[in-house]
Each structure stands twice: as C-alpha cells, then as structure tokens.
C-alpha cells in the first residue's frame, strides 16, 4: 500500500504524510491510528514539511530525550556535516528514546507518535533536507502502532495534547517511581589499567570517609555511586565480584553498613552489554550467549586497548548471569545499581527485529529484587527509578547514526518527559540550563570538575569537599529562587485554559 495526504495546511506551513507498506488505518475522534503490519520489509512513513514562514515553523524529534528547533535551520545545519547528504538518524529504542515527531507553526501543527514497543523492535528515524524550504522525517519501521493528530497552539500546547492522548488511549506508560534523592557522587576505586590509589589499610572502608564528607556538606539521603570495585573499570566483565585487594565481600559489606550509618545510600555499576573476550573464551556458558551478527560472527568492541564481545540480551544464560551478579551486591547491602547498555555500534539487528525486550527483561528482573535501578540513556520501554541524561558531546558514526549530542536544534528533553511521566533524571550539576516539565524530579550528578572518570586518588577527598560545598550553595540559591516564584504565583490570579488547549479539533483536510 502506498498513500499520501496533506495533514496540515496554513499560510506558514504545509505538512503531508506518505505511507508505504502494509498498514491498517482507523479513526477515533481527532486521532488517526495507523497499524503497521508485519512483513519481510520495513514500512516507511515519510513526514514532509513545506516551510512557508521560516520564522514560525518548528520541529521536535526524538534524538535521545528530545531536540527542538526551527525547520528552516535544518538544511543549513545538515550542510555543515561532512558526508551527511542522506540525512542523520536515530534508532529506537537506542539513540531514539521514543518515536514521536511534532511539527508546528505559530497556531498549531501535527503530532505523529508511536506507542512504546515493549519488545523493542528497531525503528529508524531520519531527518533530511534538500532545500531550506523542505524538511523530511523518514521513519522505517516494522510492526508498530502510530497515532496522528492535529493540535492547536505552540510547543507547550503540543505537549499538553500529547498528555491527553496518553490519558485517553491504552498507552503503555512505565510505572511511576518514587523520588530517590537530590545528589549523587561517583567514585571509581580501581581504574582501567588496574591502577588503585586507595590506601591498602582502608580498602573498601574508604567509602565511609567519603560518606562522612557527604553528610557534613549536604546532610543525609544522597547516593554514593561506586564503579571499578571488582577488577577495575572495564576489566574482566561480567565478573563483578568485589576486589580481594580492597578487602573482598566481607569488607565491602562492612563499608556499605558504614555508609548507611552516615545517612547515605550506595549504588554500583553493572554493564549489561559486553563481556571481556578472555573471560568468554574460558567460560562455556558465556560462549553460548554471545550475540552473533548476520554472518554468524561475534561482534567485538574495544575499550582501553582490550577486546569485549557484545552479548545477546535475549539469552537466558546471559540474563541469569547478570541477575546473579546483581544478587551478590544486593546481599551485601547495595541500595541501587546502574545498568549500562551504551556501546560503540548503534544497529546490530535489521530494522523491525526485536532488540530491546531482552534488556527490558534484565532491568525488570533486577529491579524486582527490591533494589533501585538507574539506566544510562532513556527509553520509553525500560523501567527504572531514574535515568541518566544523555551526553552533550556531538558524536555520530560514518552512516549518520547519532550517538550523542544535538545537531539540528537544541536539546529539550520535555518531549520524553511528557511521554514517560514520573521518571526521575540524573543530570550533571554543571548542566543547569536544561528545560524540564513541571514536577520532574532531577538528581544532580556531582561530576569531577576535571572531567573524565572520577577515580579515587590522593586529592579525591579534598576535591569532593569543594564540589559538595558548591552543590550546597547552589541548592540554597535554588531554594531562594523557588520561594520567589511561589510568591509571584500567589500574586497572579488563576486563569482558565484558553480555547486553543481544547482537545476538540476540526476534521483533517
């Protein structure tokens, strides 16, 4: 089936939608519902924008948590990217946190959004622009369900309409998580080259010293996050058994209790994606859970001059191993775990094939053990108590698949925050200019002021005292600002919603 129709038309902007593939279309009130049926080839949805007023026509697309900007600037920005004449892309549920595209002008626009796919089947969303007057968003997807509607108003009103859609249809929204804390401080105990400057007589009990400073500067109820606690950072995964050099499991358990006495909580790092090649070669069970590419070969990634093999998240053997590693840390008293699945390659299976279900299963099983879970990156199918905000650095592969950063607009995570309400976020203390939706809980990551991995050294305790003190000052300043805002709110009379925010809309042309 191939069809195309104009879905939005004003003096400023004209949008059309072209669908190529097996699809069923139904209508429910103001919503058009497209069910993309499974087939041997991916279906295509092409959303075309003809820009008639460059100052008012804008977009919002799911590059990580969201990227928003003027449509008229897209062509110019793509032109500056060498070799990207075919456009740039995000992959769901990897670099694309969701599958929602919003296009609008000063008076309204359209929303094209796919429901979360709990199986994590891969979709690709590409933005192209041949001239400054035309921009295309091309979606290649397998089996999926999409909703199309018009809305009235600007960007904020578009989010309000998206909220109403979620409320009115059977949208699979992730469970809301309780707020977990205000600050998180990281410490790596053993570095990538087996280097460790933790005093031998202290071992894991150095965590008590760190927690003591946290309590002094910030009070109770914050998180101390530990990585490099086994063999070292990016070493011998998936063996996360606590280092004997630092005192082994017994001393780590003692250290966690000491941190708890200081009023803080402890989380640990686990990598869900890779296993050290040397470990896999000597483990018959792990060999059976290696991910194989289309040619039947393992996928190898390099880190710190070492080779790691990408593991199959669908493998029950791999899932069980990671759950076992998590259980050991939880038995020692861990309050939370960071589950990381970021990697060096974006697409490992064909479009439309399942990829995210295995990751979702691992996260769910570990979270069900009663521990808090945080996930590096965001996706509308991965349950977590909080998610680490995506990185700012502009990184893309040679095929135009985005790893991180904004390329055609500005970072605006309110798109994802609207689609996954109630999720908390971990954000660097230095990144304080990010817009958020009302009520969103932000935990501040007290990153190293020098950048890079926050590995323990002779100056660590002195350095974190400065960082924690700065965080305390900024917290006080935010509290004062919030008091001013609350006073101003009380002075302004409450206004009724305008007619433009009504859910009732005219029929499509």
- Structure confidence by residue, pLDDT tens digits, 150-207: 999 999 999 999 999 998 888 888 888 777 889 999 999 999 999 999 999 999 999 9
**Residue 493 falls inside a structural domain:** no
Residue 30 near residue 503 (C-beta atoms within 8 A) = yes
Residues 234, 290, single domain; the answer is yes
**Residue 507 falls inside a structural domain:** no
- What are the tens digits of pLDDT across the range 218-238? 999 999 999 999 999 999 999
CA trace torsion 90, 95, 97, 101 (10° rounding): -20
**Residue 290 falls inside a structural domain:** yes
Residue 99 near residue 92 (C-beta atoms within 8 A) = yes
Annotate 289-306 with DSSP letters as a single string: TB-B-TTS-B-EEEETTE
Residues 132, 166, single domain; the answer is yes
Residue 409 near residue 435 (C-beta atoms within 8 A) = no
Residues 263, 129, single domain; the answer is no
Residue 127: φ, ψ to 5° = -110, 130
Residue 186 φ/ψ region, left for φ over 0, alpha for ψ in the -120 to 50 degree band, beta for the rest = beta
**Residue 35 falls inside a structural domain:** yes
Domain count, the chain: 2
Residues 398, 342, single domain; the answer is yes
Residues 387, 440, single domain; the answer is yes
- What are the tens digits of pLDDT across the range 355-405? 889 999 999 999 999 999 999 878 999 999 999 999 899 999 988 999 999
Strand partners, 303: 306
Residue 225 near residue 219 (C-beta atoms within 8 A) = no
Residues 134, 191, single domain; the answer is no
DSSP 397: -
**Residue 489 falls inside a structural domain:** no
Domain limit, last residue, from 111, 139, 174: 174
**Residue 458 falls inside a structural domain:** yes
Q: How many helices (H) and strands (E) does the chain have?
A: 10, 27
**3-state SS class at 339:** strand
Residues 214, 90, single domain; the answer is no
Residues 205, 279, single domain; the answer is yes
CA atoms within 13 A on the CB side of 502: 6
Residues 58, 96, single domain; the answer is yes
Helix (H) or strand (E) holding 91: strand 88-92
Residues 256, 364, single domain; the answer is yes
Domain limit, last residue, from 126, 147, 174: 174
Structure-token pair, residue 286: 């792990």
Average pLDDT over the chain reads 90
Q: What is the pLDDT of residue 493?
A: 58
pTM, two decimals, is 0.91
**Residue 495 falls inside a structural domain:** no
Structure-token pair, residue 457: 């050294």
CATH number for 245: 3.20.20
**Residue 191 falls inside a structural domain:** yes
Query: Is the pLDDT reported for residue 273 higher than 50?
Result: yes
Question: Over pLDDT 90: what percentage of the chain?
Answer: 73
Residues 314, 462, single domain; the answer is yes
Query: Is the pLDDT reported for residue 420 higher than 80?
Result: yes
Residues 385, 470, single domain; the answer is yes
Q: What is the pLDDT of residue 484?
A: 64
Per DSSP, which regions of 105-181 are E strands? 108-114, 123-131, 134-141, 144-152
DSSP 205: G
Pairwise CA distance, residues 421 & 159, whole Å: 12
What's the mean pLDDT in 325-332? 98
Residue 173 near residue 224 (C-beta atoms within 8 A) = no
Closest by CA to 165, choosing from 64, 44, 33, 68, is 33
In which domain, by residue range, is 429 found?
183-483
What's the mean pLDDT in 45-50? 96
Domain limit, last residue, from 106, 140, 174: 174
């Amino acid at each position: 089936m191939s069809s195309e129709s104009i879905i939005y038309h004003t003096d400023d902007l004209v949008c059309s939608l072209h669908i190529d593939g097996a699809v069923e279309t139904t209508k429910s009130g103001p919503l058009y519902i497209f069910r993309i049926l499974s087939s041997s080839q991916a279906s295509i949805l092409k959303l075309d924008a003809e820009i008639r007023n460059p100052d008012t026509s804008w977009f919002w697309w799911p590059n990580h948590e969201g990227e928003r900007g003027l449509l008229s600037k897209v062509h110019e920005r793509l032109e500056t990217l060498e070799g990207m004449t075919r456009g740039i892309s995000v992959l769901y549920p990897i670099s694309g946190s969701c599958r929602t595209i919003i296009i609008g002008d000063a008076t309204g626009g359209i929303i094209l959004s796919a429901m979360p796919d709990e199986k994590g089947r891969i979709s690709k969303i590409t933005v192209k622009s041949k001239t400054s007057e035309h921009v295309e968003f091309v979606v290649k997807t397998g089996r999926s369900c999409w909703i199309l509607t018009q809305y009235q108003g600007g960007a904020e009103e578009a989010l309000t309409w998206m909220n109403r859609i979620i409320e009115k249809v059977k949208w699979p929204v992730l469970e809301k998580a309780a707020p977990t804390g205000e600050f998180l401080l990281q410490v790596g105990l053993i570095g990538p080259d087996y280097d460790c400057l933790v005093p031998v007589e202290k071992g894991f009990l150095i965590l008590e010293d760190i927690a003591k400073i946290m309590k002094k500067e910030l009070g109770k109820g914050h998180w101390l996050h530990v990585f490099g606690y086994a063999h070292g950072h990016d070493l011998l995964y998936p063996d996360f058994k606590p280092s004997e050099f630092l005192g082994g499991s017994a001393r780590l358990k003692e250290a966690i209790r000491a941190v708890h006495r200081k009023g803080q909580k402890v989380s640990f790092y686990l990598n869900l994606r890779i296993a050290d090649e040397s470990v896999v070669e000597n483990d018959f069970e792990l060999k059976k859970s290696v991910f194989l590419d289309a040619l039947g070969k393992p996928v190898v990634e390099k880190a710190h001059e070492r080779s790691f093999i990408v593991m199959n998240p669908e493998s029950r053997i791999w899932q069980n191993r990671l759950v076992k590693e998590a259980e050991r840390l939880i038995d020692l008293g861990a309050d939370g775990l960071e589950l990381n699945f970021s990697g060096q390659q974006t697409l490992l299976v064909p479009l439309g094939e399942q990829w995210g279900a295995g990751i979702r299963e691992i996260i769910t099983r570990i979270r069900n053990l009663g521990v808090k879970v945080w996930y590096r990156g965001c996706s509308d199918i991965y349950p977590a108590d909080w998610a680490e905000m995506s990185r700012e650095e502009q990184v893309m592969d040679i095929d135009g698949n985005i790893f991180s950063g904004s390329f055609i607009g500005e970072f605006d995570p309110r798109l994802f925050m609207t689609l996954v309400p109630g999720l908390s976020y971990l954000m660097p203390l230095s990144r304080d200019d990010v817009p958020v939706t009302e009520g969103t809980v932000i935990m501040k990551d007290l990153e190293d002021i020098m950048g890079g991995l926050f590995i323990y050294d002779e100056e660590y305790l002195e350095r974190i005292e400065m960082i924690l003190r700065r965080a305390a000052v900024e917290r006080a300043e935010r509290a004062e600002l919030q008091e001013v805002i609350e006073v101003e709110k009380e002075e302004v009379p409450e206004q009724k919603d305008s007619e433009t925010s009504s859910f009732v809309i005219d029929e499509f042309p």
